[in-house]
Structure 1
Amino acid sequence: PVHFTTGASAAVTHARFSAVLSGLKILSYLVELCIKKGADLIVSEASATVFPIAQEIVRSAYQRLNILDKFTTETVQYVGGQFKGRIVGNIERYNVATNIYIGSIGATAWMIGEVAARIGATQIAGTPNDSNMVVLIATSDYTLLGDEQYAAGATLSGQPSDLASVLTFDYFKLLTIALMLLVFISTMFGNSWIVNILRL
């Protein structure tokens, strides 16, 4: 089986919700892929806010592929309060072949990664959270770092608005870098005209 979690804890704050949302977009793609390939999918969600959304994403995929009768309540599980132990328990109980944890991955990353690595599961992980990237790189076979997670969610969703937002953000970063280089070079040669323009 394939195990998936967005890693969202009970309280999904505004800062973390974009990471969870990109994880849910990846889930939307993943569930259809699992159904088509005949792989069982287990989704563990710890947030009461995210759980019904994940459940609806999975149920809708089963409905779109005309196999709603195969959808069970065990497919998407609410793991609530003791979510670390229950996610790890699901990974071990189902002896998953693949563990995917993409979203708002916090301090649980090392525990989830360690257990899945111990049973030999292939792991795909992603988080924009800088403090946990080292753990994800150490325990995962494939890692989405920082903005890669948002780009993956947008690409797999195929929605023009999602792709446009990622592209716009990338263009903004390029523009910022170009402007910084221009200021640096002009200041090096004693031309402060661009600095004066920016002060206006």
Structure 2
Amino acid sequence: MIPTGVGIIIFGLILLICILYTRSGKQPFIRHISGLDAINEAIGRATEMGRSMLYITGTGSIRGMATIASMNILSQVARTSAEYNTMLSIPCNDPVVMNIGREVVQNAHLDAGHPETYHQEDIYFVAEEQFAYAAAVDGIIMRDKPATIFYMGSFLAESLIFSEVGNSVGALQIAGTDSITQLPFFIATCDYTLMGEELYAASAYLSKEPLLLGSLKGQDWGKLLIIAVILVGVIMQLLGFSWFIDLFSGR
């Protein structure tokens, strides 16, 4: 129990230090994520073409981490689309996700100073069944021919169905998911793809909120510390010093 307690204290201190560092006004280094840098470009493209945008939240429930991360990205996308007065359509396959999406988009329009551009009917429920939802979204893509499509959340076999149809209408597509099995399909068919933790880091990257940036950097330093401890443990074991491993095994 002692190593676990010490580890919790160390990680807590790392997070606290990183948050205080960012709150002091200093900007930590965050590597560029091309998919997130392209969001403004994608919204601007839709505005210039006079066409709508489509935001797909995936087939996961609101309890999923990917769906929560998707809502954070949706907030930034909706705010920028409100500033540009560009239509953003969000078909959902879960009523709870739909209602939360409506709240997120409404708040984004308020933050942008354009509450009059919010239309509740732009965020709507389609179908709960996986392939019924996929067929409905494909129909929307074919009819509306959106200039930009965002795929952010948890996806299954419908990922390739979505992105192939989106590709056929010439949409600029940005995808993000933690579904490892679906990443190859998004990489092959989309212009930009956020992979794994890039999706989770998006809210901090886009908002530049000190608390989120500090937490993000704290997690990175924590992972680096874990890697260092593992490497030291391997070297110590190879040299015949088992006390270091015993320290963590509780023996």
TM-score using structure 1 length: 0.88
* Off by >6 Å, runs of 4+ in structure 1: none
Of stretches 105-114 and 74-83 in structure 1, the one that deviates more from structure 2 is: 74-83
State the match for 1:139 in structure 2: 189
Is 1:59 paired with 2:110?
no
Question: 1:90 maps to what in 2?
Answer: 140
Amino acid at match of 1:147: E
Aligned to 1:25: 72
Deviations 1:142-163 (A, max 9, x none): 1110111000123224444433
8 Å contact from structure 2 (residues 152, 176) kept in 1:
yes
Query: Which structure's residues are more often helix, by fraction?
Result: 2
Contact 1:109 1:132 in 2 (8 A): yes
Amino acid at match of 1:131: T
Could you tell me which of 197, 202, 205 is aligned with 1:152?
Answer: 202
Q: Contact 1:25 / 1:157 at 8 angstroms: preserved in 2? A: no
User: Residues 50 and 158 (structure 1 numbering): CA distance in 2 closer, same or farther, change over 3 Å?
Assistant: farther
Equivalent pair of 1:22/1:150 in contact (CA under 8 Å): yes
1:91-106 to 2 correspondence within 5 Å?
A: 91-106=141-156
Contact kept, 8 Å, 2:172 with 2:190, in 1: the verdict is: yes
Aligned to 2:177: 127
Name the residue aligned to 1:186: 236
Identity of aligned residues (%): 31
Query: Which structure has the bigger radius of gyration?
Result: 2
AA matched with 2:58: G
Q: Secondary structure at the match of 2:68?
A: helix
Q: Give 5+ residue unaligned stretches, structure 1.
A: none
Of the structure 1 ranges 59-68 and 18-27, higher mean CA displacement relative to structure 2 is found in: 59-68
Shift of 1:170: 2.4
Structure with the bigger RCO (C-alpha within 8 Å, sep 6+) is: 2
TM-superposed CA distance for 1:114, in Å, is 0.6
Tell me the alpha carbon deviations over residues 16-70 of structure 1, each in whole angstroms, 9 at most, x when there is no partner: x211011000000001111222322111111111100101111222233443333
Q: Distance in 2 between matches of 1:189 and 1:66?
A: 64
Conserved? CA contact 2:62–2:97, under 8 Å = no
Aligned equivalent of 2:162: 112
Q: How many residues align?
A: 196
Secondary structure, aligned partner of 2:224: helix
- Structure 2 alignment gaps of length 5 or more: 1-51
1:69 alignment partner in structure 2: 116
Contact 2:109 2:118 in 1 (8 A): yes
TM-score computed with the length of structure 2 as normaliser: 0.72
Task: Indicate which of 72, 79, 83 corresponds to 2:126.
Answer: 79
Match of 1:3 in 2: 54
- Is 2:66 the counterpart of 1:34? no
**Alignment partners' CA distance in 2, 1:18 and 1:167:** 19
RMSD between aligned residues:
1.9
Over residues 55-104 of structure 1, what are the superposed CA-to-partner deviations in whole Å (9 max), with x where a residue is unaligned? 11112222334433332244212112321112212222211111101111
